[in-house]
Structure 1
């Protein structure tokens, strides 16, 4: 939902973005509200991060030592802002490619005075590879990613063996990957990928899925899924060494 009519100095130049293969997202055009534009223009210089900034020292970035959680694809940012506000002792980094969502989150974060939140408007895989330190994160969140339901598009799903291996390398021992989807075939795909990936432990006490943890806010996707009669599936896996 990026909007080419808004001229904002945000990190989307091809020179600063290393190329990779199949994308798990499609950039779509969309209008920007005044609040979203304000977030990108006025708040971005303070809370925005760039791929070109390189590897981050997270203690220096946030000015403290604290638990660190990354959310990939935060959409319009409501869930992530709520988490940052209700967990001030945890530092959050959001990654999203769509300008309206980034702008809205930045605007809300500024209005709520949040100091424990930073944002990338970049490809998440490139941020994980080039910007986040090895064994530096306590958790990674992936809530309601595009399920790419058509079989010919399954290769676009972000949850693939290479992705979970990369996430694992950025987690501390015992760190967690929390995924949620309202698309059951994608949940099954996630479970299959994680079961085959080395160095992970499923935290579910029974079966594959876990009940929605209290720390994950309800999202519009979850409410939509309930109205449509869909289940919502949470999977939490921990990095397991030894």
Structure 2
């Protein structure tokens, strides 16, 4: 499996959980053949700070949406046709904003459940608007990423999917809550264009091994052995620093969809 040197990360899928106690309450279970409705995130309550709320009021209507059942008109939302990348679990937006700046030709959709994390992402976007590299190619969805993939993303419409530091749910009895299981791999593979890329990073050794085995078993995916259509560089954050301080190895797992 390819590994990328000079590891980068954006913090866990639950990055916002490190900074706040607010979340989105999970919607009632729908149930489906692809993914049992056991969420991979924890639920907490809280509130936005006053500056976060002010930014939310200014920017959410244009840049954000709640997850729903209708197919996204991606071209209409971004006002252009461009390669589209979905980041699952964007936390406070550290990676999403940096990667949007680095890839202005890409439409980036960030999915997160934690409202303060989303508000911090909006603040990060807003701070770029008066710079030489304004972020205009990033949109945000609030809710469960599996619902996004199932209901809002058309088959073979994504150039890339990024899942950086998903919650490992380390206790065996909680493994059913892990996001990256066979059914989710199948769903992601279905939504990727031929030649598209799934990029996963984790600092949890046992989860990395399970992810690698499961990803390699998905028949539509193969370890990436061609030029990637998206960047694999990620900004360093405090979470990677903590991982390095305790000696954790960060695994980069990258697959491409067969059929290009």
Name the TM-score class by shorter chain.
0.7 to 0.9
Alpha-carbon distance between aligned partners in 2 of 1:42 and 1:198, rounded to the nearest angstrom: 44
Alpha-carbon distance between aligned partners in 2 of 1:204 and 1:186, rounded to the nearest angstrom: 23
Structure 2 counterpart SS, 1:43: helix
Q: Which residue pairs with 2:22 in the alignment?
A: 3
**Do 1:57 and 1:133's aligned partners in 2 also have CA atoms closer than 8 Å?**
no
Shift of 1:226: 0.6
Q: Which residue pairs with 1:137 in the alignment?
A: 158
Alpha-carbon distance between aligned partners in 2 of 1:214 and 1:171, rounded to the nearest angstrom: 16
| Long gaps (5+) in structure 1 | 5-10, 206-212
Alpha-carbon distance between aligned partners in 2 of 1:85 and 1:53, rounded to the nearest angstrom: 29
Alpha-carbon distance between aligned partners in 2 of 1:58 and 1:35, rounded to the nearest angstrom: 29
Structure 2 counterpart SS, 1:110: helix
Q: Which residue pairs with 2:137 in the alignment?
A: 116
Query: What is the TM-score of this pair, normalised by structure 2?
Result: 0.80
User: Are positions 1:62 and 2:78 aligned together?
Assistant: yes
The number of aligned residues is 228
| Long gaps (5+) in structure 2 | 1-16, 130-134
Shift of 1:132: 1.2
Cα distance change on mapping 1:149 and 1:47 into 2, 3 Å: same
Q: How does 1:25-44 map to 2 (within 5 A)?
A: 25-44=41-60
User: Are positions 1:180 and 2:201 aligned together?
Assistant: yes
Q: Which residue pairs with 1:8 in the alignment?
A: none
Structure 2 counterpart SS, 1:52: coil
Q: Which residue pairs with 1:48 in the alignment?
A: 64
1:171 to 192, 197, 220: 192
1:219 to 237, 242, 254: 237
Which gives a bigger RCO, structure 1 or 2 (Cα 8 Å, sep 6+)?
2
Shift of 1:120: 0.6
